[in-house]
Structure 1
Amino acid sequence: EWVMLVGKPEVEFSPQSVPVTSKHNPEFLVRGDVAAGSSLEFEFATSTAYGTWEDTLVVRVSEGDDATPPRIGYPYFTISRDLLRVAVPTSELLDGSAIDSAWVVVRDAKNEVPITELPLRWDDELWTGDWTGAAGQKLRLQLVAVDQHGNQGAGVLADAHIPPMAPAVSVGPWQAVDLPAGDAFGVLDMHFAPNDPEVLYAARRDGIWRSSDGGVSWSATGMMDYQRPLSVDAHTPWRVYVEPNLVSTDGGMTWNELDIPGDAPSLVALEDVGRHGLIYANSGGKDAELLVSADGGISWQAVGMRGLSEMRVHPQVAGLIYGRRDSSLYYSDNGGSTWEKQRLPRHFRRILPDPWEPDGLYATSGDTLWYSADRDGRWQPLAPQSSERWPFIKIAPSRRRQGLVFAWEGSGLRSELWRSEDSGRHWSVMSSVSYARVDTLIPNPHDADHLYIIDRFFRRSATLWETRDTGETWQTVRIPNASTFIGVIRSDGAGNFFAGSEKWLKAREDADLVDWSPALLASRNAGGAWEWITRIGFFKSSWSNYRNDSIEALAVNSAHIIAHTGQGYVRSDDGGQTWERFDPPGDRGSAGSYAVIAVDPHDPSVWWRILRGVWRSTDGGTTWEERGPIEGLYDGRGRSTVRWFTGEEAGARGLILDPSREGHVAVAAGGTVWNSTDAGQTWRPLTVLKTEGLMVEALAVHPEFFPRWYAATQAGVYVSNDAGRSWLKTLVLSEGPEYSDNRSFLQGRRLRIRFAPQDPNRVFVTDGLKLFESRDGGQRWRDIGQSLEGYPWFNDVAIHPAIPEWVYAATPRGLFRLRSEGIDMAVQGAIAALPAASALLPNYPNPFNSRTILCYRLTHAGAAELVVYDLLGQRVRTIAKGVQPAGEYQIPWDGRDEEGRLVGSGVYLLRLKAGDEVHTGKSVLIR
């Protein structure tokens, strides 16, 4: 209470020098009201592997005026559009007396010329200030403060970048829909802030959560979905990174993408302890180049190292980094400018720097732990004295107590934990949770006795355990905030909504332990009130896959509800009141792969299912028959030839059941669309989309204009006006080859294409990261998900059946509703300018024998009709009729009349009526 610590709390000694000298000296600022002549007593302790020595140290406060400037740290800031917002906690303005004033000097990063001085105001334990600058500027910020005695101090420079303004208009706000309470998720990953013992981050299935009081209370950040490993900045607890390229500077509330060069870049090591903003990234690919940024990710440069399979930054020594490639170890003492090489004696799975020794390294190889105390390539085994082999040993050295190391069997198959007090030379078994299966152990960097373990035996029912006495006793920890995860939302068209979710349920009524099981939320009044439908069948969970027990595929019509959970299928014939589980054949592949399921528009007793293969049931799902097979989709051993980036089988994905032609079915496999005209008995390739190497993951047909098809990949949305024969890309979802890794399979990023029931030309597409709406049948799009704050995640979208402007978004944190008015917005699409008049374009081929393509163009959305007449003026066939969006159309005619009969050879007249315009043409049929 009398002094304030400046710098590190530990004193580090260099044992090679004589006499022994300290490398880091702790400094303290004395409170301004401590009288001259006072004495302060410090307790002094030295801890080594051989014991602890304690003493006291008395310091006398000398006479004199306060002439010590404040110690200034890092200005925390966030950027939203052109607004720069600075928030500085008291921990970054250290002074023995009170701070009188503070401001931020804003400079141009290119020439260091000051642009402005931003005054900060005191607001609830924070110094805050806002500045609106020119979009696109790269800035350099410096925090300055003056104490009450007039001493001025300045802090380190921090780089900031105000991105260019996006030409978009907000379409919010979104409102959270009041749902019944969900259950608290378990923790999948957890991190302490290295420089603040009170700040923790936890990753759950519903995103990232933050605690600012040592884990007592938690609040949701803006990240709605946990995707890749997260890391916390070494210098500020509010700067957080999530692989592959996301950064937040305000504790996770808002997120930005770092522009890292390369084909599939990813952050690999973060924040050198010796300098703010120094981070490392991998450019991606097999021969990836190591990149370094000295300004927090704004600019990058190569450091002359390629192909590293692993990289580590020393947690205590500035500029010391390690990398592993094949059987060689590389290390650099200057942040990657120069490298030295060491030949490793064997293949190591993982290397980890010793936080207490600059030259010390731990490594794991099979069931053995290794240690090297120098750079001469000498390694010694340190395996725990176990009666069994540990094929996947993992370790975690303590950053708080020298010599303290923890080890465990990292595959999660055993519950044994080990502890060493002498850097791994001798080991003892720790007390552990009897049925826990340790996936991760997290030591508190500020308290050597405080540990967390993440248990994957019951994936969410007891995932996080805590000990404050180095493993003597353990207790369960739950982040109490509950979310109602919504994986899919569908309407039956009669005012009923069904939302796929999950709940805690017992496998049996007499069971002691609980786990998660699929559950439905139902609304019988068009979204006004919701209720749980929980008992739809218990599915045994798998600790290796945390996404396989919620409903995320759902088919609804007036007679049936069919749901797929990734572990199995259930159906209800009474609106969800009672459920029956069914296990159809053909579900090859791992858990967590979700099916496409649909009810045939021509017969509600006929169900279709896509998962690896194409399956059809004609008795409401009781028995199933595989249709096809699709030529070339499977190899000789029944394995799919279409695979994800990970090597997992993908098979067929999207599904179209043509409402206008019974038995006409289309599916997507890779980038090819396959078509069947006999209910799937035979298949032929219809077209190959130019999808930048990405597979088609969703197909859909326009609810009224049946020749219009939609296809979606991770990169964009494609529209066809001729039933899949030709395609035009109208929406860009993601750019760059980094999306070729098909993260949808790895992270649950599934594409959805939905239509508004009142207006089929209103089309909605979500890829998880974004939510787009089109009001002209898919020609032009606007991003309506951008106004949901933070870093949202969209699992699905639905439209209110009675109020068409209400859009419902299904997210890991429940349902959100937006009133989507028809306002002007920035749009992207394939049509930049339409021709002045509609037209009936030449058909091809002409003359034709069995099939021709009829082409026409509409300049405005509206009623249109294309009809074929004979020379006597008799109507032969109506090719298209109804309200259509503007655009160009290509529709095949197979030379048949309305009854499906072949017409004879001759000249046929074509008549297009678009609004008040009428256009005519001729086509010749030769049999």
Structure 2
Amino acid sequence: MFLKRPLTLGCLLAAGLSTGTGAQGQTLGPEEFSGLRARNIGPATMSGRIVDLAVVEADPNVFYVASATGGLWKTTNNAVTFTALFQNEDVHSIGDIAVHQVDTSLVWLGSGERANRQSTSWGDGVYRSRDGGQGWENVGLTDSRHIGRIALHPTDTQVLFVAAMGHLWGPNDERGLYKSSDGGESWERVLFVDEDTGVVDVALDPENPDIVYAASYQRRRRPYGFHGGGPGSALWKSTDAGQTWSKLTNAGIDNGLPAGDIGRIGISVYRSDPRIVYVSVEQGLRYNASTAYEERLAGVYRSEDRGETWEFMSDWNPRPMYASQILVDPSDDQRIYMENSFSWSDDGGRTFTSARQTLHGDDRFLWVDPSDSRHVVKADDGGLGISYDRAITWLYVTHLPVSQFYRVSFDYRKPYWVYGGLQDNGSWAGPNATYRSEGILNHDWVKWGGGDGFLNLVDTTDNRSLYVESQYLGLDRVDLVSGQRQRIRPGDPTGAIGPRKNWTTWQDLEAPQQRLGNAMAPANWDGPFLISAHDPSTIYSGTNILWKSPDQGRTWENLGDMTTGVDRRTLEIMGELPTPETLSLDDGIPYFPTLTAIAESPVERGVLYVGTDDGNVRVSRDDGRSWTDVADNMPGLPTDTWINGIEASRFAPGRIYVAANNYRNDDYANYLFLSEDYGATWAELTGSLPPERVVRTVREDPRNPDVLYVGTEFGAYFSLDRGDSWNELTAGLPMVAVNDLVIHPRDNDLILGTHGRGIWILDNVNAFQEMGPEIGETPTHLFT
């Protein structure tokens, strides 16, 4: 019986690597590696975050599915099969998708997700397709970064509005509401507030499209927190196709809408009678992950006179920072759907019922068939669901391979298994190959952990002990044979997600925050840990403290606070210090500062390296008893830059690689460094990387010290000269974020964990490892 796995360049005569007869010492470029092909092993059973849908109303079997970070997908047979679109453009993240119902070959795509997550990716403007999504053209607004909504004129294919949210991590000018009257050839900004405020939603009156509603939104995320509102957020109305605007919130009159600072707003116009308009308004909300809310002053509002006056219906508006999507059934003005925590109302928003059956608790978008309200399609963090009984029961799609991995690893079984953690879909493991002719299937994958999955490591000495991580260093040790599970999070015997009584308040103010576990051990969303290369019973993990366990996590030793110790209560967001009135305060970032990277030298016992989210890089050569700060030695590294990955060389004890990124401070430059002397001096390695790739991880090849691999927000790259030059690793990969990558030492496979297209494997990377200077001096080479 033969193992089912594809053959790549190994053992083949690589004519494609020829430099030409007599070409002595010619530099090899990316075209010489174009024959390499990675394979996708899924999984698709849990899919990934879907943010938007666009359905052809004349034929609802045809619709487009917009993934947060996995591109665009199209079905022509009601989700039986999908075709991948928008896979090789310059970006991969999508905020909105719209198809024109008059000319269904005309499709518009707004790049850059509209969510405000700490893991949200960004785009480069608006794209247009004239052939049903087969080909795409960028038509502008390239610095808008995040598109909240595209609203198309119902009859005129040349007219559209684009809600441009602007940069999430900093101020910028290209934000607001834009209008095109010539099919995207040119743009006019028709609504602008300021450089901190964009527009998140826009809706047209279907009877009179000169009536336009828009929601401006002031928000800012930083490495240390989030601020989700302010005076810039407002509801607006135009009656002349965007030439002039009236402010409906804080308008100085009592029209029923709330006064004061507000946050995110969602808009829905009733299709059968557009005098009726619904909005969801964020104000006075304090979020925590137990779905307990305090001080919910705003919520759902209804107007029956096109927005002149409003009636407060209820305070239901689950986690508006993330979704705030409200939808009125196009045939029933009393039937209201609310996203994020999927629910509906049959009394115009006065009361809501939560779904009894749903694939995932975090919902992003809903489409209701205007010709049959029983037909509903839902997008959520678990993928796509279709209902034919008005959202009571669902058929879930399990063949959209858009899973969002944060971290990947492997074991030493034969065939080896791959392990990884997913955005809000737990931790999973599956084989890299199978003996079946049909290959790897969804049911080959096993779920080992819940929540948001992150790093999973197997003790490869016995392939039995699995360390499973969820958010904020929720760490378990699992026996893969017996299934026995032990929670081992340092500093907190209850683990990362402890009893709700452990929830505390931020800065002792009346603002409950997400305080998971013991506040004495605050950990990063993606908390680091590792198994020692010198003793598999020894585990290191990081909260704000570096912890060491000599006994597989049964006991822990505190090696000290590795951060700068900065107090984030002293750090401004949009020019202000947080107060009890700050909306969605620090949503998703309950702790700061924290550790983000840990590495151990595999060749010199006792050499440790750590990195933090507030810019520290520290080195110890005595197993953590003393430390040296080395970040200031890195040329050109801004202060407080997030340290994303550290790789200690297996060839030289003092050699170390550091990958850092600073996009959380609105700086999208590449930061990658090499030290040969334990961090005393550094060389910068990003010279030939394309600009603004944003480096997420770096790995040294286990067999050739000159070969390096990096994963970036926009693909993977490799170097054959220890970082002096770089080539893109195309290998059939779509444009996608490569959050993590590892090389299997035994099988010599490169395993890539993408945040949007699952796990990919490039089998047997000897083509890189054997690529010495002599290769460029011969016309052909036979790889081993």
Fold match, TM over 0.5? yes
Q: 2:553 aligns with which of 617, 621, 624?
A: 621
Rounded Cα–Cα distance in structure 2 between residues aligned with 1:668 and 1:571: 24
What's the offset of the Cα at 1:761?
3.9
Q: Does the Cα contact within 8 Å between 2:538 and 2:549 map onto a contact in 1?
A: yes
What's the offset of the Cα at 1:270?
5.3
Q: Does the Cα contact within 8 Å between 1:272 and 1:318 map onto a contact in 2?
A: no
Q: Does the Cα contact within 8 Å between 1:663 and 1:676 map onto a contact in 2?
A: yes
Rounded Cα–Cα distance in structure 2 between residues aligned with 1:439 and 1:304: 21
Q: Does the Cα contact within 8 Å between 1:269 and 1:313 map onto a contact in 2?
A: yes
Q: Does the Cα contact within 8 Å between 2:96 and 2:149 map onto a contact in 1?
A: no
- Corresponding position: 1:593 with 2:525: yes
- Corresponding position: 1:480 with 2:383: no
Distance 1:645 1:172, change over 3 A: farther
Distance 1:733 1:456, change over 3 A: farther
Q: Does the Cα contact within 8 Å between 1:351 and 1:361 map onto a contact in 2?
A: no
Q: Does the Cα contact within 8 Å between 2:468 and 2:476 map onto a contact in 1?
A: yes
2:429 alignment partner, SS class: strand
- Corresponding position: 1:762 with 2:707: yes
What's the offset of the Cα at 1:403?
0.8
Distance 1:181 1:605, change over 3 A: same
Q: 1:239 aligns with which of 85, 98, 108?
A: 108
* Paired amino acid for 2:609: A
Q: 1:773 aligns with which of 718, 728, 735?
A: 718
Relative to the length of structure 1, the TM-score reads 0.52
Pairwise mapping of residues 735-746 of structure 1 onto structure 2 (< 5 A)?
A: none
Q: Does the Cα contact within 8 Å between 1:443 and 1:452 map onto a contact in 2?
A: yes
Rounded Cα–Cα distance in structure 2 between residues aligned with 1:475 and 1:466: 15
1:381 alignment partner, SS class: coil
What's the offset of the Cα at 1:813?
3.9
**Correspondence for 1:404:** 276
What's the offset of the Cα at 1:615?
1.4
Per-residue CA shift, 1:736-759, capped at 9, x if unaligned?
6x88xx8xxxxxxx8233344444
Distance 1:576 1:470, change over 3 A: same
What's the offset of the Cα at 1:610?
2.4
What's the offset of the Cα at 1:711?
1.0
1:584 alignment partner, SS class: coil
* Paired amino acid for 2:686: L
**Correspondence for 1:351:** 235
Q: 1:708 aligns with which of 655, 662, 675?
A: 655
Q: Aligned residues, how many? A: 597
Distance 1:813 1:721, change over 3 A: same
What's the offset of the Cα at 1:177?
4.5
**Correspondence for 1:491:** 410
Q: Does the Cα contact within 8 Å between 2:210 and 2:240 map onto a contact in 1?
A: no
- Corresponding position: 1:310 with 2:198: yes
Pairwise mapping of residues 383-398 of structure 1 onto structure 2 (< 5 A)?
A: 394-398=266-270
Q: Does the Cα contact within 8 Å between 2:530 and 2:599 map onto a contact in 1?
A: no
What's the offset of the Cα at 1:700?
0.5
Q: Does the Cα contact within 8 Å between 1:310 and 1:350 map onto a contact in 2?
A: no
**Correspondence for 2:666:** none
Q: 2:460 aligns with which of 554, 557, 560?
A: 557
Pairwise mapping of residues 31-110 of structure 1 onto structure 2 (< 5 A)?
A: none
**Correspondence for 1:423:** 306
Distance 1:820 1:487, change over 3 A: same
Pairwise mapping of residues 406-805 of structure 1 onto structure 2 (< 5 A)?
A: 406-408=278-280, 421-423=304-306, 439-442=324-327, 453-456=338-341, 460-461=359-360, 463=363, 474-483=391-400, 485=403, 486-493=405-412, 495=414, 497-501=416-420, 517-522=426-431, 532=444, 534=446, 536=448, 539=450, 541=451, 548=452, 550-554=453-457, 556-559=459-462, 560-566=465-471, 568-572=474-478, 578-585=484-491, 593-630=525-562, 633-635=564-566, 649-669=592-612, 670-688=614-632, 689-693=634-638, 694-714=641-661, 715-731=670-686, 751-785=696-730, 787-789=732-734, 791-799=735-743, 801=745, 804=748
Distance 1:404 1:324, change over 3 A: closer
1:563 alignment partner, SS class: strand
Relative to the length of structure 2, the TM-score reads 0.60
* Paired amino acid for 1:229: G
Per-residue CA shift, 1:694-746, capped at 9, x if unaligned?
3321110221233321111231422222332222222369776x88xx8xxxx
Distance 1:418 1:313, change over 3 A: closer
Which deviates more, 596-605 or 414-423?
414-423
Q: Does the Cα contact within 8 Å between 2:43 and 2:758 map onto a contact in 1?
A: no
Rounded Cα–Cα distance in structure 1 between residues aligned with 2:306 and 2:232: 19
Distance 1:681 1:861, change over 3 A: farther
Rounded Cα–Cα distance in structure 1 between residues aligned with 2:675 and 2:435: 33
Rounded Cα–Cα distance in structure 2 between residues aligned with 1:819 and 1:524: 11
Q: Does the Cα contact within 8 Å between 2:68 and 2:94 map onto a contact in 1?
A: no
1:713 alignment partner, SS class: strand
* Paired amino acid for 2:761: R
Q: Does the Cα contact within 8 Å between 1:489 and 1:497 map onto a contact in 2?
A: no
What's the offset of the Cα at 1:623?
1.4
What's the offset of the Cα at 1:784?
1.0
What's the offset of the Cα at 1:536?
3.5
Rounded Cα–Cα distance in structure 2 between residues aligned with 1:578 and 1:569: 14
Tell me the percent identity.
17
2:409 alignment partner, SS class: strand
Distance 1:407 1:645, change over 3 A: closer
Rounded Cα–Cα distance in structure 2 between residues aligned with 1:732 and 1:699: 19
Unaligned runs of 5+ in 2: 1-28, 113-122, 219-229, 286-290, 343-354, 375-388, 497-518, 578-585, 662-669, 776-784
What's the offset of the Cα at 1:452?
5.9
Pairwise mapping of residues 90-489 of structure 1 onto structure 2 (< 5 A)?
A: 168=31, 171-172=34-35, 174=37, 176-177=39-40, 182-183=45-46, 187-191=50-54, 200-204=63-67, 207-208=70-71, 210=73, 219=82, 221-222=84-85, 227=93, 229-232=95-98, 237-243=106-112, 244-250=123-129, 273=153, 275=158, 285-286=170-171, 288=173, 307-308=194-195, 309-311=197-199, 315=204, 347=231, 349-353=233-237, 379-382=253-256, 394-398=266-270, 401-408=273-280, 421-423=304-306, 439-442=324-327, 453-456=338-341, 460-461=359-360, 463=363, 474-483=391-400, 485=403, 486-489=405-408
Q: Does the Cα contact within 8 Å between 2:606 and 2:624 map onto a contact in 1?
A: yes
Distance 1:590 1:768, change over 3 A: farther
Per-residue CA shift, 1:383-413, capped at 9, x if unaligned?
59xxxxx998744223553212234576786
Distance 1:523 1:212, change over 3 A: closer
Structure exhibiting the larger radius of gyration computed from Cα positions: 1
CA-based RMSD of the aligned residues comes to 5.7
Question: Per residue, is there more strand in 1 or in 2?
Answer: 1
Higher relative contact order (CA 8 A, sep 6+): 2
Q: Does the Cα contact within 8 Å between 1:218 and 1:479 map onto a contact in 2?
A: no
Q: Does the Cα contact within 8 Å between 2:539 and 2:553 map onto a contact in 1?
A: yes
Distance 1:453 1:220, change over 3 A: farther
Distance 1:465 1:697, change over 3 A: closer
Rounded Cα–Cα distance in structure 2 between residues aligned with 1:653 and 1:208: 28
Per-residue CA shift, 1:1-38, capped at 9, x if unaligned?
xxxxxxxxxxxxxxxxxxxxxxxxxxxxxxxxxxxxxx
Per-residue CA shift, 1:552-580, capped at 9, x if unaligned?
44354324432212161122355795443
1:697 alignment partner, SS class: strand
Rounded Cα–Cα distance in structure 2 between residues aligned with 1:196 and 1:733: 48
Rounded Cα–Cα distance in structure 2 between residues aligned with 1:439 and 1:677: 50
1:718 alignment partner, SS class: strand
Distance 1:569 1:192, change over 3 A: same
Rounded Cα–Cα distance in structure 2 between residues aligned with 1:640 and 1:655: 26
Q: Does the Cα contact within 8 Å between 2:141 and 2:174 map onto a contact in 1?
A: no
What's the offset of the Cα at 1:821?
6.8
